[in-house]
């Protein structure tokens, strides 16, 4: 038997979503096994699934990325700094995106899966650029110390990473012209996040933190025990 009922509330409003669970509980008490569907129920289920994904997947991604960085850099502090800056960049891009969607684009809302997709893209791209920089910085630090090594790495990799970031941001920004709200949103957020990471995080924030921490940036590897020079050998053996 099919029973149709129409909500008095806007079907995609928060108030309508809040009614789904009580309606299902009442229906299941009256007839166990009965399914409650419709536009509001489907959207409610989609949002619940997206919320679960956004709670479970990002920590797994961060743990895997951090472990890879630890193995690559042989450090604990540097990976935590890099992951932390990527998270800050993602939150800033998402916040600016929501502001632009509401004030300039006039969108009534955003896709519930937007934060998860934006997180995966921006973490992958942000960490990728940081690996280019920090891997070269580690090589230069062995010879020149932490400060000089970071500056040399920034000078060598800056042009390549900046060019790649501009090209990638331009590619994602093309999605913003497609007649689908979700693609416009993901295109804008990722493009803005890539530019933010390219011109601010990788160029300013990461080098500034590394230089401020000095050799401690490489802890607990041998680089952290090389004194102010940050050499990959004990200070007493430095030639």
Structural domains of the chain in order of their starting residue, each with its CATH number: 56-237 (1.20.1640.10)
The answer to whether residue 68 scores a pLDDT higher than 50 is yes
* Res 6: pLDDT: 79
Q: What percent of the chain has pLDDT over 90?
A: 26
Length reported for the chain: 239
The answer to whether residue 83 scores a pLDDT higher than 60 is yes
Higher pLDDT: 176 or 137? It is 137
Long-range contacts, stretch 171-175, CB < 8 angstroms, 24+ apart: 172/121
Average pLDDT on 91-108 reads: 89
The answer to whether residue 94 scores a pLDDT higher than 90 is yes
pTM for the model stands at 0.79
Six-digit token string for 211: 């230089």
Average pLDDT on 207-231 reads: 77
Q: How far is CA 78 from the centre of its chain?
A: 17
Residue 239's pLDDT band (cuts 50, 70, 90): very low
d(CA 105, CA 4): 36
**Alpha-helix runs per DSSP H in 74-145:** 77-100, 114-144
Six-digit token string for 118: 């934006």
* Res 226: pLDDT: 62
Q: Is 75 in contact with 221 (CB distance < 8 Å)?
A: yes
């Amino acid at each position: 038997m099919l029973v149709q009922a129409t909500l008095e509330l806007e079907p995609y409003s928060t108030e309508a979503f809040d009614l789904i669970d009580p309606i299902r509980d009442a229906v299941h008490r009256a007839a166990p096994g009965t399914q409650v569907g419709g536009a509001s129920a489907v959207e409610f289920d989609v949002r619940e699934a997206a919320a679960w994904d956004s709670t479970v997947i990002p920590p797994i991604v961060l743990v895997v990325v951090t472990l890879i960085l630890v193995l690559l850099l042989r450090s604990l502090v540097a990976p935590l700094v890099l992951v932390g800056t990527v998270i800050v960049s993602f939150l800033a891009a998402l916040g600016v995106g929501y502001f632009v969607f509401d004030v300039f684009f006039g969108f009534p809302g955003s896709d519930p899966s937007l934060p998860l997709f934006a997180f995966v893209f921006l973490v992958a791209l942000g960490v990728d650029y940081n690996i280019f920089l920090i891997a070269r910085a580690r090589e230069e630090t062995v010879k020149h110390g932490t400060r000089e090594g970071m500056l040399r790495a920034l000078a060598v990799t800056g042009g390549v990473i900046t060019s790649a970031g501009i090209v990638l941001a331009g590619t994602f920004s093309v999605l913003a012209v497609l007649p689908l709200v979700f693609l416009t949103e993901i295109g804008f957020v990722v493009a803005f996040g890539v530019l933010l990471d390219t011109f601010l995080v990788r160029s300013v924030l990461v080098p500034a933190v590394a230089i401020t921490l000095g050799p401690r940036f490489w802890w607990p590897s041998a680089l952290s025990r090389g004194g102010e020079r940050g050499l990959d050998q004990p200070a007493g053996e430095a030639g």
